[in-house]
């Protein structure tokens, strides 16, 4: 299945998906990596991997989010994408794009949704005093960080944790979770619980 990766920054989740796609039995291949940010370091990673990349800068479109998304959509269809994986794509999406790609767009979020949607999830988890935190891959619907949950990975919050330490612990799990969920989503295989750790897909 041709998959488009949408990024805005570092691209470590995109990198994890690119790596996963190299395995012969992985049901996806990356057809394009698109960034709204021309400076996104993740673009270079994709280029190095020999993948097609495209910048669709939102700034020339000003407040017209839908016009930007139409440009994005044109790229996606031109590249033959059948699935979109948002991977640190830092733009709010309009109902036009979410409905156009309904059921075919996934997102990874650094919290155990429905806890802590939005930004600064690690700081907020520490403030709330939760003992478990983690990440979620879900189907994208109109509401931000809503939509059916496809998989989650949990990590402990440890005594003395800083937001950075916690973020790093979660990020490691993001890199396991996203490829596992994409595989399960496309293969429609039985629910997977991997390695005795708290990674539940399906």
Q: Which residues are catalytic?
A: 109
Q: List the one residue out of 80, 82, 78, 93 whose CA is nearest residue 8.
A: 93
Total residues binding ligand GRF (CB under 6 A): 16
Site string for ligand GRF, 101-140 (x = CB under 6 A): -------xxx------------------------x-----
* Residue 5 in the binding site for ligand GRF (CB under 6 A): no
Residue 193, C-beta contacts closer than 8 angstroms, at least 6 positions apart: 199, 200, 201
Binding ligand GRF by CB under 6 A: which of 87, 112, 113, 199? 87
In the range 167-186, which residues lie near ligand GRF by CB under 6 A? 171, 174
| 62 annotated to a ligand binding site | no
To the nearest whole angstrom, how small is the minimum distance from the Cβ of residue 19 to ligand GRF? 13
Each residue of 21-42: b (16+ CB within 10 Å) or e? beeeebbbebbbbbbbbeebeb
The DSSP code sequence of 10-36 is --HHHHHHHHHHTSTT-S-EEEEEEES
What residue ranges bind ligand GRF (CB under 6 A)?
7, 9-14, 42, 87-88, 108-110, 135, 171, 174
């Amino acid at each position: 299945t041709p998959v488009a990766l949408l990024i805005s920054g570092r691209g470590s989740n995109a990198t994890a998906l690119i790596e996963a796609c190299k395995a012969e039995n992985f049901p996806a291949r990356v057809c394009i990596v698109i960034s709204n940010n021309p400076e996104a370091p993740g673009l270079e990673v994709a280029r190095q991997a020999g993948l097609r990349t495209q910048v669709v800068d939102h700034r020339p479109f000003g407040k017209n989010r839908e016009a930007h998304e139409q440009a994005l959509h044109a790229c996606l269809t031109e590249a033959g994408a059948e699935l979109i994986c948002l991977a640190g794509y830092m733009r709010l999406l309009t109902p036009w794009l979410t409905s156009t790609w309904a059921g075919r767009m996934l997102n990874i979020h650094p919290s155990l949704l429905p806890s802590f949607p939005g930004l600064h999830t690690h700081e907020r988890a520490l403030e709330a005093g939760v003992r478990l935190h983690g990440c979620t891959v879900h189907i994208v619907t109109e509401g931000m960080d809503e939509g059916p949950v496809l998989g989650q990975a949990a990590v402990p919050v440890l005594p003395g944790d800083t937001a950075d330490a916690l973020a790093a612990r979660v990020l490691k799990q993001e890199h396991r979770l996203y490829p596992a969920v994409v595989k399960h989503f496309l293969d429609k295989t039985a629910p997977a619980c991997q390695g005795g750790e708290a990674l539940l897909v399906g």
